[in-house]
Amino acid sequence: MKEIERKYLVNDDTFIAQAYSSSRIAQGYLCARRVTARVRIYGDKGFITFKGKSKDRGLSRFEFEREIPIRCAERLLSRCSGTVEKIRHLVNFEGYTWEVDQFTGKNEGLVVAEVELTNTTENPPLPEWVWTEVTADFHYRNSYLAQKPYTEWFK
């Protein structure tokens, strides 16, 4: 399956009042090279995901995800060298579902919003809390944040 999304920094927390769902996520990376292998605990479910190399300025890439037993996800996550923790808020805005990730732990202070698209030329309407696009900036990829946390960028 092909994943097409845009990623933006968020400039305030007004999105929280607009969220229809909020869930804790913990994820780690088993491999973060040409293909990224990620294990994730999303709420009370476990997932394993493989993502290919980004194309189209980071807009699209191959993605394969499957649910796995939560105990397997916990075991795999404990073997990851770096992890990312966040609260994911889902917000509907003008026909689009926005995934707003409010990072915690070593990435505290970073808030990123993603929106999935049907094609690479699509330009969704932006909520007032969206600031600037960072789709092509690898620093905001979770696999990078797992190894180089946001709180360490300014030291």
Q: Which of 29, 42, 144, 150 is catalytic?
A: 29
Is residue 8 annotated as a catalytic residue, yes or no? no
* Main-chain phi, psi angles of 124, to 5 degrees: -70, 155
How is residue 137 written in tokens?
């900036």
Per-residue HEC secondary structure of the chain comes to CEEEEEEEEECCCCHHHHEEEEEEEEEEEEEECCCEEEEEEECCEEEEEEECCCECCCCEEEEEEEEECHHHHHHHHCCCCCEEEEEEEEEEECCEEEEEEEEEHHHCCCEEEEEECCCCCCCCCCCCCEEEECCCCHHHCHHHHHHCCHHHCCC
Active centre residues (catalytic): 29
